[in-house]
Amino acid sequence: MRIDLTSEPRLLQILRGVVRCRALEAGVPEPEAERLALAVSEAAANVIRHTYGGREDARLALEIRTFPDRLEFVLEDWGPKVCLDQIRHRPLDDVRPGGLGTYFMNCFMDDCSYDPDFAEGNRLRMIKYRQREVAH
């Protein structure tokens, strides 16, 4: 499944809904589906805020891939390349709104990585592995 949208912040709620719905359809428990939706939404908000500088006329795309062992969320933008050395969350003891998007992404996803071969902009791949059922 792929969704293309503009960088309007109000569309983040639609993005969250799509991620939550797709995760639930894939059998992810509701609390975890909410966390995945938050992580993807935070990634998109970071693109809007930092890569596009708040512009609302730029493009974003999210592809959701479902596999037997994992869910993959691939977020693409067409802005300038991000400087990986500058991506970090603010200290957790600095209590105030904002600045924790990358923290949530790293907490709720099992892997987050940028594709260096995506020449048109940035491609962030976030993976969540499915829980394996334990046989008794």
The CATH architecture assigned to 2-129 reads: 2-Layer Sandwich (3.30)
Residue-wise pLDDT for 73-117, tens only, equals: 999 999 998 865 665 654 555 554 455 568 888 899 999 999 989
Strands in 2-6's sheet, in edge-to-edge order, are 2-6, 59-66, 70-77, 122-129, 111-114
Residues 125 and 113 sit within 8 Å (Cβ to Cβ):
yes
Residue 129 scores a pLDDT above 90: yes
All structural domains of the chain with their residue ranges = 2-129
Q: What is the pLDDT of residue 131?
A: 77
Mean pLDDT over 46-63 rounds to: 95
